[in-house]
Amino acid sequence: MATIRIPTPLRPYTSGNEQVTVDGQTVNDALHNLIEQHPDLEQHLFNDGKLRSFVNVFLGEEDVRYLNGIDTAIKDDSKLMIIPSIAGGSGADTNRKVDHSALRTNQAFIIGLLLIAFIANLWALVAFVALVMIIGTIWPNAGLFKQVYLRILKPAGILKPDVIVDNPEPHLFAQGLGGLFTLGSTVALLVGLPILGWTLSWIVIVLAALNLFLGFCAGCFVYYQLHRLGVPGFSSGPIVREARQE
Amino acid sequence: MKVVLSDTHFDQIKTHLEDAYPNEGAGFLLGRSSENLVEIEFILPMANRREAEAQHNRYSIEPKDYANAEFEAARRGLDLVGVFHSHPDHPARPSQFDVDHAWPNFTYFITSVEKGKVKVTHAWRLREDRTAFDEDILEVAQPNSVANTNRED
């Protein structure tokens, strides 16, 4: 007969047994046979007849979700394991917090790379910065410079987080605007208009530097003006910051 | 239920959660439990496996990490007795999400971390009917009053 390994928090319902022998042809049969033997397990494994999302059943090394789900066939000598996913969290202020260290890293990269591009006359580097900015605006998770911060600079302790209750949208809008200018710069350089091209790049450099060194986000200012005028899509108003109390 | 741990272990929890700030940090509590008492004897910090964008208010420990933690507990002659996690800039009380995803018979430490500094920790336990958490009594003992901290078996 197949066996099911029981995780520690559920063992009080199996008289302390780590392993229970079960009958059945499928994972579903086995789980229901387990519940027949130990009915108190049911509410912790199932919700409205469905396996709870944080309950994982493994057949050997494989999560049965990647096999045939609870209909996965089992044999007499199959070894099943119930393995918890552990999850939780405050859920507080979803998306209403911005790590300004990540923004500043982004700005520093933009300024540095565009300056190098200008000095070395590299249109391709301008194109690269434009691409990173535009991708980072459309998919914030995929922002390359932000990822450098999240995966390298912050874990290594080189930069400390500076999380502020803030709207992420104006910052994304500012980056998108900068991305379009940088894209325009790339196109101008490619079609042989270097003065226009480098002017556009320098506008991005100056505005990013204004933000990095003086904390003034010109794109955010534009965003909030559009919000004030009631332009659709600019729904986030300025946040009045207040201290949190427990 | 009373939960006891040494201040050395408590410091290990605090360090992990302050390092994780502004994101949520999490880990396992290893020890022994009897009918009325949980003694914590080893702290196992874990990686928060939620996507980067969600880590500021969610944590997740994946099945493979869980399985390794259970193996590690057995290797030390201990059991998994609970989970700790932080609420950055938020009270040390369970959210509905915490209740919905909780396992029974574990003590859940929730620590509020404000502006990068640990403020307060409360211990919680899922009710048998899964509707809410009840608070455990958390006792942090001074060094040497909890036997053999960090013992290697």
**Mean predicted confidence (pLDDT) in B56-66:** 93
Domain positions in chain A: 2-84, 97-228
Report the complex ipTM: 0.89
Q: Does B16 touch chain A (CB under 8 A)?
A: no
Whether the CB-CB separation of B12 and A77 falls below 8 Å is answered with: no
Query: Which residue shows structure tokens 């319902």?
Result: A13
Residue B152 lies in a domain: no
What band does A188 get if pLDDT is binned at 50, 70 and 90? Answer: very high
**A196 to chain B, closest Cα gap in Å:** 37
pLDDT score, position A234: 84
Whether the CB-CB separation of A164 and A100 falls below 8 Å is answered with: yes
Is pTM beyond 0.80 here? no
pLDDT score, position A96: 66
A103, B99, B102 from B129: Cα distances, Å: 45, 11, 12
Residue B130 lies in a domain: yes
Cβ within 8 Å, pair B83-A93: no
Lowest mean pLDDT among A18-22, A23-27, A95-99, A101-105: A95-99
A interface toward B at CB cutoff 8 Å?
7-12, 43-44, 54, 56, 58, 63, 81, 83-94, 97, 99, 140-141, 147, 150, 160-161, 163, 244, 246
How many whole angstroms separate alpha carbon B139 and alpha carbon B75?
26
CATH number of the domain to which B136 belongs: 3.40.140.10
pLDDT score, position B143: 65
Structure token digits, residue A77: 């000598």
Q: Does B57 touch chain A (CB under 8 A)?
A: yes
How many whole angstroms separate alpha carbon B57 and alpha carbon B50?
10
How many whole angstroms separate alpha carbon A56 and alpha carbon A163?
34
Structure letter (DSSP) for residue A237: P
How many whole angstroms separate alpha carbon A191 and alpha carbon B66?
57
Nearest of B15, B96, B110, B45 to residue A246 by alpha carbon: B110
pLDDT, tens digit, for every residue of B13-45? 999 999 998 889 999 999 999 989 999 999 999
Structure token digits, residue B2: 């009373």
What residues make up the domain containing B136? 2-141
How many other β-carbons are positioned within 10 Å of the β-carbon of residue B72? 15
A108's enclosing H/E stretch is helix A100-120
Lowest mean pLDDT among A65-74, A128-137, B52-61: B52-61
Residue B135 lies in a domain: yes
Which of chain B's residues have a Cβ under 8 Å away from the Cβ of A105?
none
Task: Please say if the pLDDT value at position B52 is more than 90.
Answer: no
pLDDT score, position B148: 38
CATH number of A2-84: 3.10.20.30
Whether the CB-CB separation of A146 and A159 falls below 8 Å is answered with: no
Task: Name, in order, each residue with C-beta under 8 angstroms of B122's C-beta and a sequence gap of 6 or more.
Answer: B92, B93, B109, B110, B135, B138
What band does B129 get if pLDDT is binned at 50, 70 and 90? Answer: very high
Residue B148 lies in a domain: no
- The shortest CB-CB distance from A8 to any of B59, B79, B129 is to B79
pLDDT, tens digit, for every residue of A61-112? 999 999 999 999 999 999 999 999 999 999 876 556 789 999 999 999 999 9
pLDDT, tens digit, for every residue of A217-243? 999 999 999 988 888 878 776 754 433
Lowest mean pLDDT among A158-162, A210-214, B113-117, B128-132: B113-117
Which of chain B's residues have a Cβ under 8 Å away from the Cβ of A10?
103-105
Residue B150 lies in a domain: no
Task: Please say if the pLDDT value at position B151 is more than 60.
Answer: no
Q: What is the number of structural domains in chain B?
A: 1
How many whole angstroms separate alpha carbon B82 and alpha carbon B123?
10
pLDDT score, position B115: 77
Q: Which amino acid is at A8?
A: T
**Mean predicted confidence (pLDDT) in B135-142:** 92
- Could you tell me how many CB contacts below 8 A there are between chain A and chain B? 125
Structure token digits, residue A183: 């894209």
State the average pLDDT for chain A: 91
pLDDT, tens digit, for every residue of A160-185? 998 877 778 899 999 999 999 999 99
Which of chain B's residues have a Cβ under 8 Å away from the Cβ of A84?
63, 66, 103
